[in-house]
Amino acid sequence: MTEDEPAIEKRKRGARKPAPRFSREQADVRRAMLIEAAARCLSRGGIGAFTINSICREAGVSRGLINHHFDSLDALLVEVYKSSLYASVNAHIAEARQRRAMNADWPPQQALVALVRSNFSPVYFSRANLLLWLSLWGEIAVNPRLQAAHSELYNAYRAELAEDIAAVARSRGRNVDAPALARNFIALVDGLWLEWCLDASVVTPEDAEAAGFEMLEAQVGALR
């Protein structure tokens, strides 16, 4: 007597090994490791060192692993840009939005101060990130994919900063051009970063943070 087909298939399915529980997590770890290795290559040797071979050597992996996680070098470059230069700021943006959603009474000044200081945290305001900036600024101008990522991230950051500036100004009865002030603040931070990278004796991170606050406080009042 033979078993019917559905019974056989049911038993086969039951005998199959369960899928690995941590495959997704492991893939995320490998992907993050590749992004970190690529960032180190870029910060040490500029865009000329951002090659498949250099990144493979730095990460100790084969070309196949990079090709598995990224469809091109440009895709990897975009991820380096996002993770190295916007991770800290984006974390504060997400936190500010969550706090506003959960607590309408959260003082707008706190959101603005946290966002300003995120630009100068030791993890973010670092020589490694500054060297990444120098490498990427020139590339943004000629790389459409990186340019699109920069535009998206910059506009989101500027919009959040402008919203926080406007909220503080409204709470104090002040009339300011929040989008313009946000743009000028970002330009000031970029310039101070560049000065520090070229000559650390010209400006310190503390000087840079103070200058950022002074620009905003001239229009919205004391923040610190």
pLDDT of 50 above 60: yes
Give the CATH number, domain containing residue 200: 1.10.357.10
* pLDDT on residue 92: 67
**Same domain membership, residue 90 and residue 64:** no
Q: What is the DSSP string of 10-61?
A: HHHHHHSPPPPTTHHHHHHHHHHHHHHHHHHHHHHH-GGG-SHHHHHHHHT-
Mean pLDDT of 147-151: 93
Average pLDDT, the chain: 85
Together in a domain, 215 and 133: yes
- Whole-number Cα distances in Å, 217 to 22, 82, 94, 168, 191: 49, 29, 24, 10, 19
* Residue 167 CB contacts under 8 Å (≥ 6 apart), including other chains: 108, 111, 112
Choice between 153 and 124, residue whose per-residue pLDDT is larger: 153
Residue 57's domain comprises 5-70
Into how many domains does the chain fold?
A: 2
Measure the CA–CA gap between 43 and 34, rounded to whole angstroms: 14
User: Are residues 86 and 55 located together in one domain of the fold?
Assistant: no
Angle at 147 between CA 142 and CA 153, to 5 degrees: 155
Residue 17 confidence (pLDDT) above 60: no
Confidence at residue 175, expressed as pLDDT on a 0 to 100 scale: 96
Out of 105-109, 115-119, 130-134, 163-167, the most confident range is 163-167
Residue 176 belongs to some domain of the structure: yes
Whether the predicted pLDDT of 18 surpasses 70: no
Separation between Cα atoms, residue 164 and residue 67, nearest integer Å: 40
pLDDT at 107 over 90: no
Measured on CA atoms in the order 24, 35, 117, 179, is the torsion positive or negative?
A: negative
**Which of 70, 99, 117 finishes a domain?**
70
- 100 Cβ partners below 8 Å, 6+ apart? 106, 111
Q: Say what the pLDDT of residue 108 is.
A: 85
**Overall average pLDDT of the 120-137 stretch:** 80
